[in-house]
Chains A and B, each alone.
Chain A
Amino acid sequence: MHPPRERWVHRRASIWTGRSARGLALTYFSLVVLIPIVALITHAFSHGAGAWWSALTQRESLSALRLTIACAAGAALVNTVAGTATAWVLVRDRFIGQSVVNALIDLPFALPTVVAGVTFYTLYGPHSPFHLNVTGTWIGITVAITFVTLPFNVRAVQPLLESRTFHAEAAAATLGASSGRVFRTITLPALAPAILTGTGLAFARALGEYGSVVFISNNLPYRTEVASSYVYSLATSGQVDAAAAVSTGLLVLALTVLASVNIATRRLARSQ
């Protein structure tokens, strides 16, 4: 009963599943991700664990890491709320220019981050047309990171909203539940895994952000220098191993967050 074309696709697919596909995927993954990470860790520990630890816990490193984590967390929180709301509006609402807005959501991914940084500097810098100067503050850094990571939350939540039928919500409403209660008890739990995934990705990405931040932060060591900028300074002043050591800190942090999100979303999915 299969139409001929579909059978052909099926036969071709069988070549690309199984061993050869797995080999290809693993080779690709090794070249692009695994080998660079192993090289990074090798660099970080090339002078022993003691040197790694002392580079990672240098005062400048710690203050840069602390600032980066705080700003990345702040940006992720803002995007969790704002990104989900944006996705909601894009799916559940109809307005003029909607498709344009939808297309522009990905702009932060497409725009070189340096350009984003310079734009923020002119808008929210010393000569701000709004008389709003946030350069050299954690607010400025957070604003830049929020912009760069916005698409993660929107694009994680949007497909789920689009595929939802909202029958349960309608039923709850007819049974007399307030709209707040419907959102809290039905919609939010259903969206939670997607929201969490978006937030985790945004946070992990924010930890490494450089281009948009380096200018607006004013790059003051121990005060407004972010981790990526400190790593850049170390790497370009002949301290590649120390740069790698600080990078492992960011790496472990990002992996921990992503793994926790993964576990949490699975638990949430199972509980429903």
Chain B
Amino acid sequence: MRLLLSRYVRITSAILAGAISVAGFTSASGASPSKNVNVVGYSVVGPAFKALEAAFAATPAGSGVTFTNSFGASDTQTQNVANGQAADLVNLSYEPNLATLVTAGKVPASWARQEYVYGHVNVALTGKKAQTTFPTPGILTNSVVVLVVRKGNPLGIANWSDLAKSGVQIVTPNPLTSGSARWNLAAAYSSQLQIGKSGLAARAYLKQFLANTVAQPTSGSAALATFVAGTGNVLVDYEDDARAALAAGDPIQIVTPPQTFLIQNPVALTNNGLANPYAVSFYQYLFSAAGQGIFASLGYRSVLRSIWIATESQFPRRTLTNALWSVTNINKQGWNFVNPFFFATNVVFVKGSTTVPLVGLATYYEQFAGAGT
């Protein structure tokens, strides 16, 4: 009964978090509004920001600074900011979200350079000695896609290929609202290329992966709540989210596949945030050794090389070839290619057809899975 109750609370809070993010929760708490920073983030990063904000408020630069937080499904959050929700600093799941905000005039086109200008880091931009683990600018945290299974791993899941077996029930969020979902599906497809399979085989794998999917909750957090509540036997998740759940005592186990996918979550100061000195100094704090140390302690793979080297031993070490791919491994254009390749919506599956789709693979195979039931 107690377990039942804790699940109940868990699910309710996941859903309410979503509801609050929709409402655009913007009541500054108490203190003078001039020292307030509006933070808008993707669902999973919420707890990390609470810790970072508390630590920042304890520094001289952050003394007296208050925060207004909003966390939810990444695409939903992006749309809310584009539609006018107050935001000084945005930390979203994947880069196309920031492209949307640039188009909406909320974030400057040069947002990735803020890492150099205000964060004072990045190999590619500063040209100084290696400061960041990967050259991509504007990225606040790295993570990888992992598979979360029930304690004891009853199905013996060891790698991505195991997810295509019959009887496996996958939980992964809905790609229409969640950035996490997009990382997961790109990772699933990519995993087959990483082990040397052809593009055609990777498509067939993605098709089976989606046929085995039993739930697509609206955000990464909602997906974890659904899995913990008992649905499915594999959850595809951010490594940091899975580690946090494990630390919280959920009866789960993390399987890091031998080959998996690099997640890079971008951060930016909005045009409003650039005019807010407290937002700027918080941004700087996020890229400091202290800020990145907090991320690392919460299961993120730090973008700061010094912190990554110090914390690397916590993470499963992979020395295989193609152990870690990113969007640019699928195509040099990165998300500009990957997004339409998987998620183009104007794709129609015709029953009985054997045509191989060229774009919108996920859209196509989901229709295929739907037609089968």
Q: List the interface of chain A (C-beta within 8 A of B).
A: 58-60, 63, 114-115, 117-119, 121-122, 125-127, 129, 135-136, 211, 214-215, 218-223, 225, 229, 232-238
Contact = CB atoms under 8 A, between A and B. Distances in A.
A240 to B, nearest CB: 8
A221 B75 contact: no
B42 to A, nearest CB: 13
Given A114-B12, A118-B11, A215-B11, A222 B371 contact: yes
Most buried by A among B19, B82, B176, B367: B176
B218 interface: yes
Given A121-B11, A233-B218, A238-B82, A129 B19 contact: no
Contact of A218 (B76, B231, B345): B231
B7 A127 contact: yes
Say what secondary structure dominates the interface of chain A: loop
Q: Which 4 A-B pairs have the closest CB atoms?
A: A222-B370, A126-B230, A218-B215, A236-B76
Interface in B112-135: none
A236 B177 contact: yes
Contacts of B79: 235-238
Nearest to A219: B216
27 contacts: A59-B349, A60-B367, A114-B12, A122-B4, A122-B7, A125-B230, A126-B230, A127-B7, A127-B229, A136-B215, A136-B231, A214-B15, A214-B218, A215-B222, A215-B226, A218-B216, A220-B214, A221-B176, A222-B370, A223-B369, A229-B218, A235-B79, A236-B73, A236-B75, A237-B75, A237-B76, A238-B100
A233 B177 contact: yes
A136 B231 CA distance: 9
B250 to A, nearest CB: 13
Given A125-B229, A237-B177, A222 B369 contact: yes
Contacts of A115: 12
Contacts of B230: 125-127
B16 interface: yes
B213 interface: yes
Given A215-B15, A237-B176, A118 B82 contact: no
B217 interface: yes
Contact of A126 (B73, B177, B229): B229
Nearest to A224: B215
A121 B229 contact: yes
Contacts of A117: 15
A262 B116 CA distance: 67
B76 A126 contact: no
Interface string B206-232: 000000011111100010001001110
B348 interface: yes
B373 interface: yes
B245 interface: no
B369 A127 contact: no
Interface of B: 3-4, 7-8, 11-12, 15-16, 19, 22, 73, 75-76, 78-80, 82, 100, 174, 176-177, 213-218, 222, 226, 229-231, 345, 348-349, 366-367, 369-371, 373
A127 B4 contact: yes
A147 B78 CA distance: 34
Nearest to B169: A136
Contact of B367 (A59, A127, A219, A234): A59
Nearest to A214: B218
A137 to B, nearest CB: 10
Contact of B214 (A59, A60, A136): A136
Among A119, A136, A214, A236, the most chain B Cβ lie within 10 Å of the Cβ of A236
Contacts of B7: 122, 127
A221 B100 contact: no
A59 B347 CA distance: 9
Given A127-B4, A221-B366, A232-B177, 12 more contacts: A126-B229, A129-B4, A135-B215, A215-B222, A218-B214, A218-B215, A219-B218, A220-B213, A229-B218, A232-B218, A236-B76, A238-B82
Nearest to B230: A126
A225 B366 CA distance: 12
Given A218-B231, A220-B215, A233 B176 contact: yes
Nearest to B217: A219
A187 B87 CA distance: 62
A58 B367 CA distance: 11
A129 B230 CA distance: 13
Contacts of A127: 3-4, 7, 229-230
A62 B52 CA distance: 45
Nearest to A59: B367
Contacts of A218: 214-217, 226, 231
B8 A118 contact: yes
B222 to A, nearest CB: 8
A47 to B, nearest CB: 14
B293 to A, nearest CB: 34
A127 B177 CA distance: 27
Contacts of B12: 114-115, 118
B346 to A, nearest CB: 8
Contacts of B82: 238
B124 to A, nearest CB: 30
A223 B177 contact: no
Contact of A238 (B3, B75, B366): B75
